[in-house]
Amino acid sequence: MQTNFMKYCSRTMLVLGLVAFMASSFLTSCNKDDDEDHTIRLESYGPMPIARGGELRFIGRNLDKVTAIVLPGNLEITTFGTKTAELLTITVPQEATPGLVKLKTPQGELTTKTPMSFSEPISIASLSPATIKPGSEISIAGDYLNLVKEVIFTDRVTVLLEAFISQSRKEIKLVVPAAAQSGKIAVSNGAEDPIIVYSEASLTVTLPAITEVSPNPVKAGTVLTVTGTNLDLVKTVVLGGNKTLTTFVSHSATEIKVMVPADTKAGKVTVIPASGVQVQSGAELDLVVPEVSVTPLVVKNGGEITVTGTNLDLVSRVIFGGNREGVIRSGGTAEKIVVGIPDNAISGVVRFATLADKEVAGPELTLINPVFRSFSPLSAKANGEITIEGTDLDLVVEVGFNGGVKGNIGNHNASSMKVTVPVGAKTGKITLVARNGTQVPSPVDITITANLPDITSYKEPTAVPGKILTLQGTNLLLIKELVFPGNITATAFGLKTDNVVEVYVPKNVPFGMAQITMITYEGEQGLTPMVFFGGTDPVVDKSLVFNDFDEAGHSLDWDNWSGVSLLVSDGSGISGKYLRGNAQLNAWDWKWIWGCNHDQLPKPSLADASKYVLKVDIRITGNISDEANRFQFRLNGRDSQWIKIGLRNTDGTWSTNGSWITVTFDVANDLKLTGAIGPTGDWGFICQPAAALDFTRFSFDNFRFQLK
């Protein structure tokens, strides 16, 4: 075992010795080859990029044998800064261009693998002149300006290379564009990722200047002259009231003449060059106002005044007392106009306004009122005639009697008028109402003589069409006829005694608050107390009902989209459940009263909407304003015209006197919906009041269609 180990070690030592000998021989051989290699090699060159005029270095072997270096543009250089076997240096000439470099040697040309590139620091040294007018030539001095592709003025106004007048490494000349503004100038090489260099100094671009506007004040419709400097740069003149003018009467560097629009307002004059920079006048421009003299000073409504003075052609409106506007008659001149006095004017100062919002106060005018001197006879029956005497009675448009009724005016003139005593008149003053609303009472009371029943009350709170209305009072057996609103004479009666009369309300009576005319056997006429006429129409076709709030599987929990309604079942509805509002709405709150887009609610399908009306049973407690009454249907995803619901009162408010009534809308004419209406999409009822609304006053039931 030991003998084998010794043999193994001896052999290992022999192998290691041979390896060492061979390695020594190899290293010696390499050194010998290097000493004998005369190949010219280029290993690197730089720096890159390099500035023109900088030192370019070449590193390699046997470079001292290079005879010349050829730069792009066929620039051959034979003068070296340093020339050794490992290093060559040259100075890059200014005319050098990017590209591959060649080295000429006795062994042939060597070409670099990468192109030479340059560091070209574009710079701006100065701008000349420093203050310049658009359209003039400017010189930009600096270095490497030959690389510039665009010049950028404030505010982003660009001049491209092709518009330069001249360009060299040291200078660019170009024309300053009209839209340029004062500020720094920038130059760009126009690359995708551009080099942009800004000037240190700012360029001052000349602006127009206003020295005077005349005449001041100026008359609208005449020529205004603006004087100043560099006004030839102006593209737009702006006068008060934002009157923008781009067409001038004349235009030069020192003067602009413009026609002043009729509706120009007082204010500063602004001129704007192509750059958009606004230049204002120092003083405000004022507008000429008319001078007025008025005759006569005591006038009648419907009459005329004559106005004389100056600049009356500027007058666009004449405002009389009560803020009532008169009518300027045709044919007026700058010195004279004639103005019609509105019927509703009252005494007060007359004012003259122009389109320039200038106003001139004229004198105070006295509007004549009618004078009530007397009437005869001093007592009369309903439908009897009386004669009223006085002055200026031609101004009277209405004659009122006690009891809230109006007489019928017959033949009349300024001094006399015939009036028929109305049914319902009571003993008391007669009141003349003039065109302007002035009321003139009679000097004494008129006595109304009559042998009429005395109606004290109604048994029923509402007169429902087709049902009995019970009149209660005394002397009721005097009644021969009862004439309902709409001039409909009653034809059916029930019980009739001296204290009670039962009458069937005609089915076609108009809805709303009204009185019944009673006619006695002696031919005398009178009026019953006010009563509300109204009721609901029957549901003609149940298949056309699209919401009565009683459908199985259909709940307001699904359809109360805005949360402004309650489902109610308290016995006070038309039948079953009904919908009642429970919210206060602000002006322009947009709310769903109910909405549905699911299958549980039966929604009919109409082939031709123009053949149908839409009916809804509603109840309104109290009165709501006209502005707050603003509703809309949504059918098959289509919005109807905005509509009003209820009955309109004489004061413009809306109500149903707390009773249920049916309102009807023509689908095509009122709701503006035509064509087919399908059962899909959103269905519902919407409210968007134009004024605050107490929505708790409203109740709804039986939304339905019906064939006309």
* Short-list 551, 550, 600, CA closest to 575: 550
User: For 114, how many CA atoms within 13 A lie in the half-sphere containing its CB?
Assistant: 12
User: What is the model's pLDDT at position 333?
Assistant: 95
Q: What is the Cα–Cα distance from 97 to 116, expressed in whole angstroms?
A: 8
Largest CA distance in the chain: 173
Distance CA 305, CA 341 (A): 7
Question: Which among 595, 549, 543, 591 is positioned nearest to 570, based on CA atoms?
Answer: 549
Question: In angstroms, rounded to a whole number, what is the distance separating the alpha carbons of residues 560 and 495?
Answer: 48
Q: Which residues of 175-192 are buried (b: 16+ CB within 10 A; e: fewer)?
A: bbbebbbbeebbbbbeee
For 9, phi then psi, to 5°, come to: -65, -40
DSSP letters, 324-363, are EE-EEPTT--SSEEEEEPPTT-EEEEEEEEETTS-EEEEE
- At 207, is the secondary structure helix, strand, or coil? coil
**Tokens coding 444:** 């004494």
Q: How many residues does the chain have?
A: 708
Q: Which two tokens stand for residue 244?
A: 């923008």
The pair of structure tokens assigned to 75 is 């620039």
Please check whether residue 62 is in contact with residue 39, taking contact to mean a CB–CB distance below 8 angstroms: yes
| C-alpha to C-alpha distance for 268 and 26, rounded to whole angstroms | 100
User: Within 13 Å and on the Cβ side, how many CA atoms surround 266?
Assistant: 12
Answer whether 534's CB lies under 8 Å from 657's CB.
yes
pLDDT along the chain (708 residues), means of 10: 35 38 34 64 92 90 96 93 95 89 95 89 94 97 94 94 95 96 94 89 96 96 97 97 96 97 95 96 94 96 96 96 95 96 95 93 96 96 94 96 94 96 93 95 94 93 93 95 96 96 94 92 90 92 91 68 91 90 96 89 91 97 96 96 93 92 96 95 95 97 96
Q: Using an 8 Å Cβ cutoff, are 209 and 272 in contact?
A: no
C-alpha separations of 263 from 221, 260, 307, 327, 640 in Å: 9, 8, 22, 19, 40
Asked if omega into 273 is within 30° of 0 (cis), the reply is: no
Report the alpha-carbon distance of residue 269 to residue 617 in Å, rounded.
63
The per-residue DSSP string of 555-605 comes to -HHHH-SSS-EEEE-SS-SSSS-EEEE--EE-TT--EEEEEE-STTS----
Q: Which domains does the chain have, with CATH numbers?
A: 41-111 (2.60.40.10), 123-205 (2.60.40.10), 209-285 (2.60.40.10), 291-367 (2.60.40.10), 371-448 (2.60.40.10), 454-533 (2.60.40.10), 542-707 (2.60.120.260)
What is the DSSP secondary structure assignment for residue 333, as one 8-state letter?
Answer: -
Q: Find out whether 118 and 98 touch, Cβ atoms under 8 Å.
A: yes
Q: Which two tokens stand for residue 566?
A: 């309650």
650, two tokens: 């004489």
Sequence letter at residue 258:
V
Alpha-carbon distance 677 to 397, whole Å?
Answer: 50
301, 367 contact by CB (below 8 A): yes
CA distance 104 to 97: 19
